[in-house]
A and B are shown apart, each in its own frame.
Chain A
Amino acid sequence: MAGNRRKKHHFSRIHAFSCGKTSFKGDHSLIGGPGFSRVVHCNDPESFEASVLNYSGNYVRTTKYTLATFFPKALFEQFRRVANVYFLICAILSFTPLSPYSAVSNVLPLVVVIGATMGKEVLEDWRRKKQDIEVNNRKVKVHCGEGAFDYTKWRDLKVGDVVKVEKDEFFPADLILLSSSYEEAICYVETTNLDGETNLKLKQALDATSNMHEDSNFQNFKAIIRCEDPNANLYTFVGSLELEEQQYPLTPQQLLLRDSKLRNTDCIYGAVIFTGRDTKVFQNSTGPPSKRSKVERRMDKIIYFLFGILVLMSFIGSIFFGIATREDLQDGKMKRWYLRPDDTTAYYDPKRAAVAAVLHFLTALMLYGYLIPISLYVSIEIVKILQSIFINQDLHMYYEETDKPARARTSNLNEELGQVDTILSDKTGTLTCNSMEFIKCSIAGTSYGRGVTEVERAMARRKGSPLEEEVTEEQEDKASIKGFNFEDERIMNGSWDNEPHADVIQKFLRLLATCHTALPEVDEENGKISYEAESPDEAAFVIAARELGFEFYERTQTSISVHELDPVTGTKVERSYSLLNVLEFSSSRKRMSVIVRSEEGTLLLLSKGADSVMFERLAENGREFEEQTKEHINEYADAGLRTLILAYRELDEKEYIQFNEEFTEAKNSVSADREELAEEIAEKIEKNLILLGATAVEDKLQNGVPECIDKLAQAGIKLWVLTGDKMETAINIGFACSLLRQGMRQVIISSETPESKTLEKSEDKSAAAAALKASVLHQLIRGKELLDSSNESLGPLALIIDGKSLTYALEDDVKDLFLELAIGCASVICCRSSPKQKALVTRLVKTKTSSTTLAIGDGANDVGMLQEADIGVGISGVEGMQAVMSSDIAIAQFRFLERLLLVHGHWCYRRISSMVCFTLKMLIDKLG
């Protein structure tokens, strides 16, 4: 990447919509005021002014306890358990003459119980400590004066330090981007650890600092940053940079957050502004909620009941004791003379029988203490630890490929696994492997590709005619290229030339190789090319083009270079296209286009997009293959594939010049609706397209997911899918993992309709919101009617709801209706949902149905959901460790859930229950 010094204005074309101008907006006037008081002296952390501010260091601690606070804090935790408080009181009383037996026999069990649980705490905290040590001792290059950078441990970073972060390293603290190895001072950031999104995000430094590309530039660099105080908001940032007595505004665009990763960029220079606990990540992290299983809660109730009996027994006993004691001495006459009631202590004094009775009550509480099963707590702890070991040791839940066994991180939820009623699952990385495979395509009305999708296999299985497994085995062997599972000798290895529409095929492949925003990365050793793309679909396209003979190998500021297979000579030719404009993908446009000039000088608009928007943009003469392509698309969709339509158009010079002028102007305008303006102009040129064909990409399911879901369904467990993906994708996956089936009626609640779009654009925001809510409510009621009137013959219902509708559906007055509908449906899919919505849905299900919920996910965006659910299961996949860290149980693959729930859950529940019952029975025996 060293040679990639790009000129400024060109690069911004690739990211047409993301780079804008910044100006001092309203928020910046707050700087210096309350809540915005932070002052950072860049590159001068030792100065007097900086030392006055005394911001905390970059040392982070995630442990619950420190050496000093361990005893008070851990003891406090222990005595939140009522039974322990009772035993503590008994232990204290046992040192008084009230005690019916010796102090040791009272204190020892308590010490053992508390010691054991505290020992467990120490062990768990020690693991966290080790992790902290690892993180704190990571190294980063810090400017140490005279323009030299040297390695320093993360924990020694101070606010104001200038650090140099290199490719694929994590940012050690929250930084302000000063410059990068790119001319334009941009950098790519992967924020998987923060929000679970896998695409790369673009950050750009201020113009004022962007020219410092060498270490030595920082020798005399001094600046003052004033910004907001530490807060938890990941997406906002307000601040200003004072450089040479000039003020520059800082926005989130310059902010690099701790725990995100630098990608595709050699190195960046940044100034540390928030350290340690002040960083946005740490401000965001909440302590894990302590979860308790239902058995334990039930046991608490039993213990309260037993405690009630104990008090009652002691009370009745002390009343009789009081009466007998009082009667021992009446009118100077002793009854039980052998007890000497005339010469006694307060405990047996007939003259103050009431006091004696009260004291006796306390004694009795201790005496009958065996009613409270202190041993039960210890036994349960031990049994649960053993059960966790069994879970950890299970070979059936060990994943060879990543060398990961299952791990029960908290042992106190084992038996809850056998009680799960609803599973709330993330999609990406949980149900799917988060890798796309190019599997089929339809070019010029002919369908290519013989790959068999998971869905087709599942469908075939359901029909009872399994496709020969050997075939699939063989395929897996061959499909060593990630993202490519295409096999068709008609167009592979350059043989497409002999196909009837060879020219269309050529254009199709050329489009695949050029219409994208991916970056190639050439392995210097073997010359192999891999791609960094914003989304895995895009990577699949470029890989497919490469495998079919159109190898995209270089992107410069103005051009895209491709090795093309020349049909005439049969050799590879280098062709480069000058890249003029990129019309970016957005969820509303549902398409992306590039405008390129080929070597011959023709201007081409290459476009790919969803069928819903592309077919209407075809030219009259471009609809030659429309019928067949539509047919193929439907076939592909049924097979659970994601489809995109590819089309192109030749532009004439005049049209392009006019477009370019308008487009540039729109992009550079400062008005708020800049993006809309640009979209509108783009829309004008993306028409009269000529259809080339369609692609089908499989969002690859993890192994065994459909079978596992099927088994869970047989066990009566409901599965809800909560995903951040588009509705279409979510539905596709729903079909793929047999969550949705043909013959199911789908209730789709969406706010992405054209009407709601217009509503949103209207001036009156609150009226628009009300109208949207009304529409959601209406749709919900309609769904409910359908549910109520449903008869078996029409098949089960499936509810599909998008994020925006979910916002309204989760409001207090609507949520009961929503829940009723959702519970009535056989499958529920929530798409486009934010991490917070996931957590809210989980809470709704948990509290309103009071059934046991299990959340399963792999990304940081699932953390809320995992913590909210009764049980959080983390997939220890490739994406970060955040989900695993906040989960209760970590497994490597979704399919292990079957064994976890149906085998381990079942056994743990039965065994714990039997043990509790048996222990309580022994108590009753003692009573008798």
Chain B
Amino acid sequence: MKMAALCSEFGDLVQIKKQLISVISLCKERGLLHSAKWASELAFALDRLPKDELPPSPPFTEDDAQDLDALTLAKSYFDLKEYDRAAYFLKGCCSQKAYFLYMYSRYLSGEKKKDDETVDSLGPLEKGQVRNEALRELRVELSKKHIAGELDGFTLYLYGVVLRKLDLLKEAVEVFVEAIHSLPLHWGAWLELSNLVTNIEMLKSLSLPDCWIKDFFMAHMYTELQMIKEALQKYQNLIEAGFSKSTYIISQIAVAYHNIRDIDQALALFNELREQDPYRIDNMDTFSNLLYVKSMKPELSYLAHNLVEIDKYRVETCCVIGNYYSLRSQHEKAALYFQRALKLNPRCLGAWTLMGHEYMEMKNTSAAIQAYRHAIEVNKRDYRAWYGLGQTYEILKMPFYCLYYYRKAHQLRPNDSRMLVALGESYEKLSQQVEAKKCYWRAYSVGDVEKMALLKLAKLHEQLNESDDAAQCYMLYIQDIFSCGEQLEHAEVSTALRYLGQYYFKNKLYDEASLCAQRCCDYNDAREEGKALLRQISQVRDQIETPSADLFAPLSNNNTPVRRVSPLNLISFTP
């Protein structure tokens, strides 16, 4: 039932397939390779069409016929990256297709020259001055046509790109929306638009065409804006609607899981993705991040070798190798590979941050700071870079200074416990206990990843002689540790048990105290104390039993049963 409803919502899958096939050919003709690739991937995921169902090729107009020779020639030049030559032969052509290719080659030629110029700049300040000289002329010509209403979907897209490159972002958004309305199936325009949308309000205010592709866009946007739950829901809907075989969607879901640190789910999806598409390189850097977090050395090594065989000069490959070396603690080599990734694409955000981490490992703080700063320059919303900067200053023993950076990171990821714990630690170092307590408690409330917040909170309470609160925190901590099931290396259950034992002993709750003391004996570092406590308890019990029982009654009344958590439920867990 649900399936049917979704199908109707998405129209006929056959219809979608037809649309995709036609847009693929359109994009190909215009040299828009990435959009063509995206559409082809999606089309591949849908069922094959019978021969007679295949969409007819678009009508061949008089203009097209006229430009046919020039266009064919220019397209071949274009494909060989001889942009100026292509533009030269296209000059004066009147068909829409030729016009787009003409403008696009001019644009790309300008971009290419700009990049070549950077090498030959005449001084440090001139480096920043290098710009695509063609942009301004393109804008003038395109805007003229735009006002006259002569632009089709593709040229509108190009106009938008030009505007964006000229930093006229507001106009660019308008033009992209227009481009999308005129040609909804061109994924490149959607993607460009997504780069310009900065928040959810802006997203909601856009008027977008009601097309099945909009769902893909929304899902993409939700991922970008860190609204993972909504994104996953969207992708789930898309899968149910019949795109279950699409590698694009699988990879996107995997990335989304990665973003919310649901590592196992993400790993499973990536493995599935690699089975379906073994020569895929896109998104493999994310995959390697996951493997790194899980310390899965053999898998990471296999992935790295595999990718090198496919193409070693890809940003993703370099990142994977960097991660691989990092996991093997060969940080110099790791940094080298991240640098290589950055040489391939200096705007690759992940590599800057990862390189920062490597420099941190090498204790080269200044280089780390620079790397993080670059990452922030590329994307101001990169919380990992802000966090990394904070860590760097923390290592330099500047707890107050790093507060600013942690705060920034926290602002970007309000529900990430790591930033909160880091903030708390800094406050603790500055002896601002009240703030530190707030941070730790909040970290616990949002779901502590590293299970450290409660322990730290408890120790803080212990320092401040707030024994009730401390005991409660230790209690929660022990429950937390045992309920998560797996062994954590830094777990300090023994500390907690030791404190609890003493606490109950002081409050004359001997049963609970002895229980804690017994559990203490399970741990090497607390065994002696546990035994000592047990002895004390038995001593005290002997003393109590000899005098009359009325001494015991007021004592038990004195205790605050409200604050106390019964330790009995510990029995169900085994350490």
Q: Do A and B come from one complex?
A: no
Q: Which residues of A contact B (CB under 8 A)?
A: none
Q: Which residues of B contact A (CB under 8 A)?
A: none
